[in-house]
């Protein structure tokens, strides 16, 4: 790429960055289930601001380079700028901290409103030196004095910097505050280094320690700057001599190795237009890479496999829980077996008519004399089916009470324990429980008493239907028994009466005893007893026989209910997170495209020494 086409190249970047900025902000505004930490959020917001700033800065004919002097108070930032300017433009002085109002030093061809917004409110000083036409020099407040507002000012300015001139003195080149700031920004901007007050560094050549410049170079190498630009200067001497290095004249009392002219030369001629654009592009590249890293960092995890595992584990746990709860709930019904049997007997006898019905009702009455189930059926048969609903309602209310008392006693506690168990299991399978906590807790607190009672009642009714209206071979057995019951007693009664009458009328046999006269009744009763035994054997209504059936139904019901409530939670949460992950992935892809595009066009200007590895 040649310099002539580079402005269009940098200008193309501007809308791309704007687009990225918009997407980042959209994403930030969207509500999220996977919580982004406030630190990450602040970082991304800051990056979005940077994108906006960069896009505006690049959207000009000739981009300018912002070079910012950064360092502790008293290291001579302002003096250095004054020496470079050849005039006392920045306030330098004795007391610390000196600079409170930053100075922006720029070419008169540059309009003030083209400057970065962060710089517009500083003291603006224009110059007419064409060698510095595309460069904006900024003197900043200190980073280490007791005046903490200075540090804030510096931080707000630093975002506008393309190149940071890290100014240190013998005392401060190694200070923690400056070093930390350098490390924070080294991946986002170009860095060059100045060791000012060089005379104080070089005055004790025999000392045991390293000379400060060597020490600093060693640290920078360790940080990945293999050939950093380091200038050893004595700005004050130049200012006091009234020289600015534009001529070959040098002050007399300069210590050996002083490099102020080299610094000036580098600023004026070393940073050509090619370099400026490379620095600019590199700055954008670093920013975009940073955005990519930051968005990668907030990428929600992939939870679907974990959700799958959690689902399987939860199913097992819920089945086990359904088993125990079935046991407890059917246990609460156990004392009422008499009532249940009574109820089932009544239900089972409904299909009988005539003599058999009367007989069965009477025997039931006697057998379940102690049952608390109110039997509204009158002692005498009425041949009506209306009473059916009454007993059922009664039974439902009754079971309601049983199940409710069971719930109050143990089940509520079991559900809290269950929720805890589920969370622990989810954690074991790598599912972050913060995402599940709320919903699981909610589900475990909702109206379980009603639901469980409902399950008990439903299973009982189902069992009853099964028992009274069987299917399969039992249906035929039942049909046969019913048919027999509804016809045989009457048939036997009539038949025996006919026989007696026949004997009396035709054979003229006079009945000789009451026993003989009542024999049809005996015969009928005997037949009915035989039938009763048959019913009891073939269509049992003993609780012990029904219980197994009831328990398995209740187990299924409970398990279904638990599954319905709990099992979808992990999958649903995982699906939500997947959607959020897709959004972030989209962001990352977009960012990566911009970064790749930029890398393709990166030019090989001589700027690598401004960046560490």
Partner 1 sequence: MEPLDHRTKTQQLADDLSWLEDHCRRQPELAEQAVHLRLAAGLARNVLGPALEDQPPQPLHVAVVGGAGTGKSTVVNFLAGAVVAEANPQAGYTRHPTAYLPADTAIPWPSTLGFLGPLRRLTQEQPGNLDEDVYQTRRLAPTTPPSPLADFVIWDCPDMTTWAAEHYVSRLLEVVSLADMIVYVASDERYNDAVPTEFFRLLIRAGKAVVVCLTKARESDAGTLVEHFRQEVLGRIPTTDATTIPPIPVVTLPHLSMSVRNDPAGEGAKYRVPLLNQLLVLSPSAAVARARTVRNALHYLEAAGDSLLHVARRDLAELETWRELVARGRTQFEERYQNTFLAVETFQRFDRTREQVLAMLELPGPGKAVSNALHLARTPWRFAREFVVKTLIRPELPHQSETQVCAESLQGWLDSLQAEALRRSGNHPIWMTIIRNFDATLKPQARARFEEAFRRLQMKETDELDQAARAVPEYLTQNPSVLNALRGVVLAADLVAVVLMIGLNWPPGWELLLLLPLGVSISHQIVESVVNRIVGVSRTRVKDHRLDLLQENLTAPLADWLTTQPTTEGSSMEKLKRVLTRVPLAIRSLQESVAAKAPHTPASENPV
- Residues in contact with partner 1 by CB under 8 A are 72-75, 94-97, 144-148, 169-177, 179-180, 200-204, 207-212, 215, 324, 327-328, 331-332, 334-338, 369-370, 409-410, 413-414, 416-417, 419-421, 423-424, 427-428, 433-434, 437
Closest contact distance (angstroms) between CB of 505 and partner 1 is: 48
Sign of CA dihedral 174, 180, 186, 187: positive
Q: Other C-beta atoms within 10 Å of 98: how many?
A: 19
Closest contact distance (angstroms) between CB of 139 and partner 1 is: 17
* Burial class of 496 by CB neighbour count within 10 A (0 to 12, 13 to 18, 19+): middle
Confirm if 69 and 80 have CB atoms less than 8 A apart. yes
Please give the radius of gyration of the chain, using alpha carbons only, rounded to the nearest integer.
Answer: 47
- Phi, psi (deg, nearest 5) at residue 191: -130, 135
Q: Which is nearer to partner 1, 74 or 485 (CB)?
A: 74
Q: How are beta strands 65-70 and 135-139 bridged, if at all?
A: parallel
Q: Which is nearer to partner 1, 172 or 478 (CB)?
A: 172
Q: Which is nearer to partner 1, 172 or 264 (CB)?
A: 172
- For residue 186 the two structure tokens come to 């080294």
Residues in CB range of 134: below 8 A, 6 or more apart: 62, 63, 64, 65, 107, 273, 276
Give residue 414's Cα distance to chain centre: 28
Closest contact distance (angstroms) between CB of 215 and partner 1 is: 5
Closest contact distance (angstroms) between CB of 525 and partner 1 is: 24
Q: Distance between CA 597 and CA 591 in Å, rounded?
A: 10
Helical H runs in 519-542?
519-538
Q: Which is nearer to partner 1, 75 or 493 (CB)?
A: 75
- For residue 104, the surrounding DSSP H or E stretch is strand 103-107
DSSP 3-state of 231: strand
Closest contact distance (angstroms) between CB of 541 and partner 1 is: 17
Confirm if 410 and 431 have CB atoms less than 8 A apart. no
Closest contact distance (angstroms) between CB of 304 and partner 1 is: 21
CA-based end-to-end distance of the chain: 24
Q: Which is nearer to partner 1, 416 or 465 (CB)?
A: 416
The side-by-side arrangement of strands in the sheet containing 190-195 is 123-127, 103-107, 135-139, 65-70, 163-168, 190-195, 230-232
Closest contact distance (angstroms) between CB of 72 and partner 1 is: 7
C-alpha torsion 57→58→63→68, nearest 10: 40
Closest contact distance (angstroms) between CB of 82 and partner 1 is: 17
Q: What is the DSSP string of 415-477?
A: HHHHHHHHHHHHHHTT--THHHHHHHHHHHHSSHHHHHHHHHHHHHHHHHHHHHS--THHHHH
Closest contact distance (angstroms) between CB of 455 and partner 1 is: 19
Q: Which is nearer to partner 1, 423 or 531 (CB)?
A: 423
Closest contact distance (angstroms) between CB of 593 and partner 1 is: 35
Closest contact distance (angstroms) between CB of 420 and partner 1 is: 4
- For residue 388 the two structure tokens come to 């059916």
Q: Which is nearer to partner 1, 367 or 526 (CB)?
A: 367
Closest contact distance (angstroms) between CB of 92 and partner 1 is: 13
Q: Cα angle at 344 between 342 and 349, to 5 degrees?
A: 95
Q: Which is nearer to partner 1, 214 or 302 (CB)?
A: 214
- Phi, psi (deg, nearest 5) at residue 271: -95, 80
Q: Distance between CA 361 and CA 372 in Å, rounded?
A: 16
Residue 206: HSE in the Cβ half-sphere, 13 Å Cα cutoff: 0
Q: Which is nearer to partner 1, 103 or 201 (CB)?
A: 201
Q: Which is nearer to partner 1, 165 or 426 (CB)?
A: 426
Q: Which is nearer to partner 1, 386 or 544 (CB)?
A: 544
Q: Which is nearer to partner 1, 474 or 547 (CB)?
A: 547
Q: Which is nearer to partner 1, 181 or 357 (CB)?
A: 181
- Phi, psi (deg, nearest 5) at residue 269: -110, -30
Closest contact distance (angstroms) between CB of 550 and partner 1 is: 14
């Amino acid at each position: 790429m040649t310099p002539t086409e580079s402005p269009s190249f940098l200008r193309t970047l501007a809308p791309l960055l704007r687009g990225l900025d918009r997407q980042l902000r959209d994403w930030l505004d969207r509500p999220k289930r996977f919580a982004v930490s406030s630190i990450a959020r602040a970082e991304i917001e800051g990056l979005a601001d940077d994108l906006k700033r960069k896009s505006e800065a690049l959207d000009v004919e000739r981009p300018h380079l912002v070079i910012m002097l950064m360092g502790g108070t008293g290291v001579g930032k302002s003096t250095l700028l004054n020496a470079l300017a050849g005039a006392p433009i920045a306030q330098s002085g004795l007391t610390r901290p000196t600079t409170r109002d930053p100075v922006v030093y720029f070419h008169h061809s540059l309009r003030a409103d083209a400057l970065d917004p962060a710089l517009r409110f500083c003291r603006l000083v224009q110059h007419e030196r064409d060698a510095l036409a595309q460069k904006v020099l900024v003197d900043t407040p200190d980073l280490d004095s007791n005046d903490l507002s200075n540090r804030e000012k510096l931080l707000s300015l630093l975002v506008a910097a393309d190149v940071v001139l890290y100014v240190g003195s013998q005392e401060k080149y190694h200070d923690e505050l400056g070093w930390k700031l350098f490390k924070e920004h080294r991946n986002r901007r170009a860095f060059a280094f100045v060791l000012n007050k060089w005379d104080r560094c070089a005055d004790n050549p025999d000392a045991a320690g390293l000379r400060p410049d060597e020490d600093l170079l060693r640290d920078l190498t360790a940080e990945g700057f293999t050939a950093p630009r380091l200038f050893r200067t004595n700005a004050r001497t130049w200012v006091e001599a009234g020289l600015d290095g534009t001529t070959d004249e040098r002050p007399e009392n300069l210590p050996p190795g002083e490099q102020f002219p080299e610094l000036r030369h580098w600023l004026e001629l070393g940073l050509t237009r090619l370099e400026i654009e490379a620095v600019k592009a590199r700055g954008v590249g670093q920013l975009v890479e940073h955005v990519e890293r930051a968005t990668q960092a907030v990428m929600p995890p992939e939870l679907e496999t974990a959700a799958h595992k959690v689902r399987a584990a939860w199913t097992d746990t819920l089945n086990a829980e359904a088993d125990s709860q079935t046991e407890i709930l059917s246990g609460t019904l156990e004392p009422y077996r008499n009532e249940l049997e009574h109820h089932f007997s009544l239900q089972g006898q409904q299909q009988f008519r005539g003599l058999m019905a009367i007989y069965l009702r009477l025997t039931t009455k006697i057998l379940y004399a102690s049952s608390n189930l109110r039997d509204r059926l009158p002692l005498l048969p009425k041949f009506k089916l209306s009473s059916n609903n009454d007993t059922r309602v009664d039974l439902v209310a009754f079971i309601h009470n049983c199940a409710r008392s069971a719930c109050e006693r143990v089940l509520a506690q079991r559900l809290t324990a269950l929720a805890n168990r589920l969370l622990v299991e989810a954690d074991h399978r790598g599912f972050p429980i913060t995402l599940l906590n709320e919903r699981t807790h909610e589900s475990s607190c909702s109206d379980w008493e009603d639901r469980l009672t409902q399950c008990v009642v439903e299973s009982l009714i189902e069992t009853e239907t099964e028992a009274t209206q069987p299917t399969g071979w039992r249906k035929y057995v039942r049909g046969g028994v019913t048919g027999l019951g509804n016809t045989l007693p009457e048939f036997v009664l009539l038949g025996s009466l006919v026989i007696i009458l026949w004997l009396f009328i035709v054979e003229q046999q006079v009945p000789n005893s009451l026993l003989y006269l009542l024999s049809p009744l005996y015969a009928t009763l005997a037949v009915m007893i035989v039938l009763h035994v048959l019913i009891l054997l073939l269509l049992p209504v003993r609780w012990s026989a029904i219980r197994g059936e009831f328990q398995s139904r209740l187990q299924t019901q409970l398990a279904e209910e638990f599954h319905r409530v709990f099992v979808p939670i992990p999958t649903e949460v995982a699906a939500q997170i997947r959607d959020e992950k897709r959004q972030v992935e989209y962001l990352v892809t977009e960012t990566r495209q911009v970064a790749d595009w930029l890398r393709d066009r990166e030019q090989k200007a001589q700027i690598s020494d401004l960046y560490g590895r």
